[in-house]
Amino acid sequence: MHEITSLDNLMVLPCRLNDVGSQRCWLGMSVMSKQSIMLYDVVKIECTDRRSFLCHAWPRLDKVGDGYIQFDGTVLAADFEQHDKVPDSVNDTLSVPVHNVQKVTCSAVESVSVTVVVTDWREFVLCSKSSLQVLQCRIRNLLTGFVIAANHSMLCSRATLGKLYCWDRIIFHNVVVKNSCICGFITNSTEISVIEVISKEKFEQHTKTAPVLGGLESEINLLCNIVLQCQEPGLPGSLHKQVSILYVVKQYCVVNASIDVLIYFSVII
């Protein structure tokens, strides 16, 4: 066993393949002792790049040193912009301060409101037409065994049922947990409210920043000059017209990376 007196940060190792969707976190014994973490305790892991995850703690019994952490990133903070970037690959810049691995309280969830993001368009249509009872049943079955919290998301593609449903993620909004605990697990008596079922396409449009559209500066300047020249009083009568130009630039940053540009001329004699 290695001492952790001089250890401040834990380097993140890639998630084990058979741990994907398990919410398991492997920690060195001395790290667990220092943080007062026991087997299967729920821990909140806050990385140095603002990523935050909920996992169950498991002691590392192999020969890997205590300076490493290895965990499944299925349930993570919902406000993180790059949701799909979970620690499944080695990243030397990704580390976790030891004090950012904290044991959190957990109990049964009394009620939760969710948004379901659907990957496949056909599945989105089916979900939209499904009864509330059917949708609630599918959500309950999917969340069985997972620990959740308010303002977190579950990446459904990392779970077997999530892949079967063709769901991208479930976003948890208001979560009421017994005994005012920070996080909790779904039970048969948990009240599930579905706020919205949206497509992944729409979700990404709302969460990703549109790129700045460039390359039209010369065209805009040319059109402005045309307007100014047409409004000059010295022009011949046949050209002495009021000309207004309306151009609207619409950007679609996600869907097929397409960009539509509309330039509309209105000439009033």
User: Is 143 in the same domain as 178?
Assistant: yes
Judge whether residue 71 has pLDDT over 50: yes
Exposure b/e, 24-61, CB count within 10 A at least 16 = b:
bbbbbebbbebbebeeebbbbbbbeeebbbbbbbbebe
Helix (H, G, I), strand (E, B) or coil at 124: helix
DSSP state, residue 82? -
Q: How many domains does the chain have?
A: 3
* Residue whose token pair is 């299967």: 40
Instruction: Give the C-alpha separation, 68 to 9, whole Å.
Output: 8
Q: Is the pTM of this model over 0.95?
A: no
Long-range contacts formed by 63-68: CB under 8 A, 24+ apart: 64/13, 64/28, 65/2, 65/28, 66/1, 66/2, 66/4, 66/7, 66/28, 66/29, 66/30, 66/31, 67/2, 67/7, 67/9, 67/10, 67/11, 67/28, 68/10, 68/11, 68/12, 68/13, 68/28
Mean pLDDT of the chain: 79
User: Is 153 in the same domain as 227?
Assistant: no
pLDDT category of residue 255 using cuts at 50, 70 and 90: very low
Q: CB of 28 within 8 A of CB of 4?
A: yes
Most confident of 7-11, 156-160, 231-235: 156-160
Helix (H, G, I), strand (E, B) or coil at 249: strand
User: Is 88 in the same domain as 129?
Assistant: no
CATH number at residue 38: 2.40.40.20
Per-residue pLDDT reduced to its tens digit, 73-103: 999 998 755 544 555 544 445 789 999 999 9
Short-list 96, 95, 100, 94, CA closest to 35: 100
Most confident of 117-121, 249-253, 260-264: 117-121
Task: Give me the pLDDT at residue 184, please.
Answer: 97
User: Is 90 in the same domain as 121?
Assistant: no
* End-of-domain residue from the set 188, 207, 226: 207
Per-residue pLDDT reduced to its tens digit, 96-111: 999 999 999 999 999 9
pLDDT category of residue 192 using cuts at 50, 70 and 90: very high
* End-of-domain residue from the set 207, 237, 260: 207
What number is the average pLDDT over the span 245-254?
Answer: 39
User: Is 44 in the same domain as 125?
Assistant: no
User: Is 173 in the same domain as 248?
Assistant: no
pLDDT category of residue 112 using cuts at 50, 70 and 90: very high
User: Is 142 in the same domain as 199?
Assistant: yes
Question: What domain range includes position 257?
Answer: 217-268
What number is the average pLDDT over the span 134-153?
Answer: 95
* End-of-domain residue from the set 103, 120, 144: 103
Instruction: Give the C-alpha separation, 30 to 35, whole Å.
Output: 9
Short-list 88, 216, 227, CA closest to 155: 88
Q: In this predicted model, which residue has the larger pLDDT, 48 or 267?
A: 48
Residue 40 lies in a domain: yes
Q: Structure tokens of 267? A: 């000439």
Per-residue pLDDT reduced to its tens digit, 149-174: 999 999 999 999 999 999 999 999 99
Q: CB of 138 within 8 A of CB of 184?
A: no
